[in-house]
Structure 1
Amino acid sequence: MSELSTLPIEPLSATMTSEEVVAATKQFNYGTWRYQKSWNPLHVVDAEGCYFTDAAGRRYLDFSSQLMCVNLGHKNPAVIRAIQEQAATLPYVMPGYATTTRAGLSKLLLEVLPAGLEKFFFTTSGTEANEAAFKIARMYTGKTKIIARYRSYHGSTMASIGATGDPRRWPLEPGAKGQGFLFAPEVNCYKCPIKHTYPGCNTACADYLEHMIENESDVAAVVVEPVVGTNGVLIPPPEYFPRLREICDRRGVLLIADEVMSGWGRTGEWFAVDHWGKDSGGIKPDMLVTAKGITSAYVPLGVCATTAKIAAYFDDHYFAHGHTYEAHPMTLAPAVAAIHEMQRLDLVARSRAMGSYLGEKLHALKARHPSIGEVRGLGLFWAVELVKDHGSKAPLNSMQDKIDGKVAVVEKVAAEMMKRGVTIQAWISHFVIAPPLIIEKEEIDFAVDALDQSLGIADEYVASLG
């Protein structure tokens, strides 16, 4: 054992007060997607199960798994042990070497990913995994353009933000828009962007996407979130993905599934694409990108998975991508443990069962609150959308309000929920509800009750509009 391991380590809590921690964080760090002057971060000191605790000792039910990622809950012992053992064995080696952990995770991924995805590039985030997918698509096809959709989010690095359809891209233009991305309408049957009504529309949004491919010279790929995440948990109708797969095959275009948020049991299947096309053998994307829940976010890991056909191309063609932390052993070991824990606890089936219970509770809220326009979800992945009125379906706030620094109504509701011991992700005019997959019914009851009581703020705002 190294002599260093026997040296005492003085905890930072012994040298800094909670007030000093918050002040230092605000002074030296950036708060993301916000005006800095309004940032007042909560000092979090502990977390376990479905809860985390602040410096004052107050515990909060984590109703959105932080950023929809702590799928196993906090402090899963098996994942923590895997991190410790890997650190003691081989904390780092460059990606040009083989490691037992790398081989083990790769074989394990074959058990849970959609069939046909057989070769993997490991990254340290979802945005990097998308960057890899875009580069691979362009190298493999020799084409440059990639079609994404509005109301999408694919990451914050330059190409990934360029592929992002929502207005988080706007401050980075024109550079972001010069990345070769085009945007198709999102699939939103509650408020269709092209003014159609399902099912009579015959999935016109898919037809529109094919029209784009037909009228562009060199489309390499289409990238979609099978269930849109931050932008509202938008779930496509059953016909959409089989139709999209058929269009891509017929047009010679790759299909990339961005499952950074919707993977790892979140929707009640291992991956969201597994919900569709079961009668015909399932939907098989050419590439699948994922992150977040693969380690329950204990360490940062992303994956870009490709088919064997794509992989074979690079046997005789230069693979022009890589970085220092690709296949980092410290990121891979906890992924192995997390997948085994999901299998042991049967969390995919549990997500379906508990998601059905959660859905019933949320739909009951909709009947009581005039501010709720729609409730939608799969598994333990739900959105509650707030509107000014049910006729126009106009949202309570817009992305422009966010950019202008206005406090959204959903943020006021979320702040009230926090006073009641529940945290929830609020975005523009909806909530993203994605609790840890280990959540119990009693905890769902507690969180939904807090939402129920806090929605009075939104109801009063709607009433004030006349």
Structure 2
Amino acid sequence: MSDALLSPDQPMTTQEVVEWTKKLNYGTWRYQKSWNPMHIVDAEGCYFTDANGKRYLDFSAQLMCSNLGHKNAAVIKAIADQAQKLAYIMPSYATDARVELSRLLLEVLPEGITKFFFTTSGTEANEAAFKIARMYTGKTKIIARYRSYHGSTMASIAATGDPRRWAMEPGGKGQGFLFAPEVNCYKCPIKHTYPECGIACADYLEHMIENESDVAAVIVEPVVGTNGVLVPPKEYFPKLREICDRRGVLLIADEVMSGWGRTGEWFAVDHWGVKPDILVTAKGITSAYVPLGLCATTGKIAEYFEDHFFAHGHTYEAHPITLAPAVAAIREMQRLNLINRAKEVGAYLGEKLKALKPKHPSIGEVRGLGMFWAIELVRDQEKKTPFNTKQDKVDGKATVVDQVAAEMLKRGVSIQAWISHFVIAPPLIIEKAEIDTAVDALDQALAIADKAL
């Protein structure tokens, strides 16, 4: 490749765009030698288009974030209008966009969550949550769960239970993070059976709190995202809330992925009527049109900082161009009635996915809520043995789910795969006919997994 290719007067071919991307950029969470990125030039509705003009149905809303789909006119207009009006001002000033979004958040967030710190990503929002929890309680330790992902910055990756943390070790305990068993009734990590267990995973978490000296908070994804769309039984969150209250521990809900209508409620905690002390979110807040994260706390926590130093901040906090499109995105969700739509169309999606299990011996479980689903692949249905392990992923081995996803891409459907399952979370605007198309492609591609048995 010649440096002359960088001239703006000399358009690059798709091959050159891909080669320069690989040469100059890092591909995330992968061995670099295996990265061969597709050149994408357009996206609209539930589809994105490559440089050859081929369209792909976006069956996972990119990284489970493009809830409104692509090219929503109202959100795009909000970005352009805000850029013309006020592109940037430092966070110590008040702005119209800041107040408008903050007041709108009071309409959709769980009752009692009333004070906001804006960031530019979910991982930064979690960093803020950890700092706030430690400042407020005067304690240091935070309990997370093994099947979890909370972000890529240092504290957030230390709080992450999945193998993406391993390269950063010692990360967890070195930064005051401890890990509890996840809620996984399909394959319980502590070998219990629901409902006879009495929600033993919550009891185990309380046992940890009791035997640690200074636990500040527990952080959970109400519905676990990348690590399997694990939906807890109805008793779990009320019990966890009661444990945290009784033990004087804050409850942090990481709704980066599960928020903004994804599960058929504004936020997943709404399904169980539980109010966290701190709620963290990002992704769907702007439908990923611009990077925005939110760390939101109760009024009680906010009152503490009236007379105590709030030791956190950054240059892009409350950046006007990130806030205005969030207002537009929330209003679009309200206008299009996407919360109810996620319930209704999500139920249709769930039934279509569940119908695949009797046809494919490689499917271990189909689970989900609203427009948020997972299909777990197994080598043995009875033993629930996965095709691949976490170590396989870290070692860069080709996984069965990746092979199935690659076959689906050939068929014009994009789906997110992770270790042994697919995360199915299409834009909330998807039509039933588009779901039929995507599920049909999945049905055919699963022949690869069935053959691998």
Task: Calculate the TM-score normalised by the size of structure 2.
Answer: 0.98
Note if 1:444 corresponds to 2:440.
no
Note if 1:66 corresponds to 2:62.
yes
The one-letter code sitting in structure 1 at the alignment partner of 2:313 is G
Number of positions where the alignment pairs a residue of Structure 1 with one of Structure 2: 448
Shift of 1:442: 0.4
Task: Name the SS for the 1:169 alignment partner.
Answer: helix
Distance (Å, rounded) in 1 between the aligned partners of 2:232 and 2:126: 21
Note if 1:80 corresponds to 2:81.
no
Alignment match, 2:256: 260
The one-letter code sitting in structure 1 at the alignment partner of 2:200 is A
Shift in alpha-carbon separation, 1:384–1:12, aligned structure 2, 3 A: farther
Alignment match, 2:451: 460
User: 422, 425, 435: which one pairs with 2:426?
Assistant: 435
Alignment match, 2:3: none
Alignment match, 1:7: none
Listed as ranges, the matches of 1:62-141 within 5 Å are 62-141=58-137
The one-letter code sitting in structure 2 at the alignment partner of 1:28 is L
Task: Name the SS for the 1:16 alignment partner.
Answer: coil
Alignment match, 1:418: 409
User: 134, 141, 161: which one pairs with 1:145?
Assistant: 141
Distance (Å, rounded) in 1 between the aligned partners of 2:443 and 2:49: 23
Distance (Å, rounded) in 1 between the aligned partners of 2:281 and 2:171: 25
Shift of 1:392: 1.1
Shift of 1:125: 0.2
Task: Summarize deviations over 1:370-417 as a string: whole Å, max 9, x none.
Answer: 000000000000000000111110111111001111000000000000
Shift of 1:138: 0.1
Task: Name the SS for the 1:60 alignment partner.
Answer: strand
Alignment match, 1:336: 327
Task: Name the SS for the 2:380 alignment partner.
Answer: coil
The one-letter code sitting in structure 2 at the alignment partner of 1:147 is I
Alignment match, 1:182: 178
The one-letter code sitting in structure 2 at the alignment partner of 1:392 is K
Alignment match, 2:367: 376
Distance (Å, rounded) in 2 between the aligned partners of 1:158 and 1:220: 18
Distance (Å, rounded) in 2 between the aligned partners of 1:125 and 1:215: 33
Task: Summarize deviations over 1:48-105 as a string: whole Å, max 9, x none.
Answer: 0000000000000000000000000000000000000000000000000000000000
The one-letter code sitting in structure 2 at the alignment partner of 1:154 is H
Task: Name the SS for the 1:93 alignment partner.
Answer: coil
User: 226, 230, 237: which one pairs with 1:234?
Assistant: 230
Distance (Å, rounded) in 1 between the aligned partners of 2:145 and 2:153: 17
Task: Name the SS for the 2:117 alignment partner.
Answer: strand
Alignment match, 2:15: 19
Alignment match, 2:27: 31
Alignment match, 2:271: 275
Shift in alpha-carbon separation, 1:42–1:244, aligned structure 2, 3 A: same
Gaps of 5+ in 2: 1-5
Distance (Å, rounded) in 2 between the aligned partners of 1:154 and 1:201: 27
The one-letter code sitting in structure 1 at the alignment partner of 2:381 is H
Cα pair 1:354 1:441 within 8 Å, conserved = yes
The one-letter code sitting in structure 2 at the alignment partner of 1:461 is A
User: 366, 369, 383: which one pairs with 1:392?
Assistant: 383
Cα pair 1:158 1:176 within 8 Å, conserved = no
Shift in alpha-carbon separation, 1:203–1:12, aligned structure 2, 3 A: farther
Distance (Å, rounded) in 2 between the aligned partners of 1:28 and 1:177: 35
Shift of 1:13: 9.4
Distance (Å, rounded) in 2 between the aligned partners of 1:403 and 1:323: 33
Cα pair 2:374 2:424 within 8 Å, conserved = yes
Cα pair 2:172 2:178 within 8 Å, conserved = no
Shift in alpha-carbon separation, 1:451–1:214, aligned structure 2, 3 A: same
Cα pair 1:120 1:306 within 8 Å, conserved = yes
Note if 1:191 corresponds to 2:206.
no
Shift in alpha-carbon separation, 1:310–1:229, aligned structure 2, 3 A: same
Alignment match, 2:353: 362
Cα pair 2:26 2:32 within 8 Å, conserved = yes
Gaps of 5+ in 1: 1-9, 277-281
Distance (Å, rounded) in 2 between the aligned partners of 1:90 and 1:20: 36
User: 40, 64, 67: which one pairs with 1:44?
Assistant: 40
Task: Name the SS for the 1:33 alignment partner.
Answer: coil
* Alignment root-mean-square deviation, CA: 1.1
Shift of 1:16: 1.6
Cα pair 2:118 2:293 within 8 Å, conserved = yes
Alignment match, 1:346: 337
Shift of 1:167: 1.1
Shift of 1:11: 11
Note if 1:211 corresponds to 2:207.
yes
Shift in alpha-carbon separation, 1:231–1:326, aligned structure 2, 3 A: same
Task: Summarize deviations over 1:85-144 as a string: whole Å, max 9, x none.
Answer: 000000000000000000000000000000000000000000000000000000000000
Task: Name the SS for the 2:157 alignment partner.
Answer: helix
Task: Name the SS for the 1:387 alignment partner.
Answer: strand
Note if 1:304 corresponds to 2:295.
yes
Alignment match, 2:151: 155
Task: Summarize deviations over 1:289-341 as a string: whole Å, max 9, x none.
Answer: 00000000000000000000000000000000000000000000000000000
The one-letter code sitting in structure 1 at the alignment partner of 2:147 is R
The one-letter code sitting in structure 1 at the alignment partner of 2:182 is E
Note if 1:327 corresponds to 2:318.
yes
Q: Percent same amino acid at aligned positions?
A: 80
Shift of 1:177: 3.8
Cα pair 1:73 1:437 within 8 Å, conserved = yes
Cα pair 2:157 2:171 within 8 Å, conserved = no
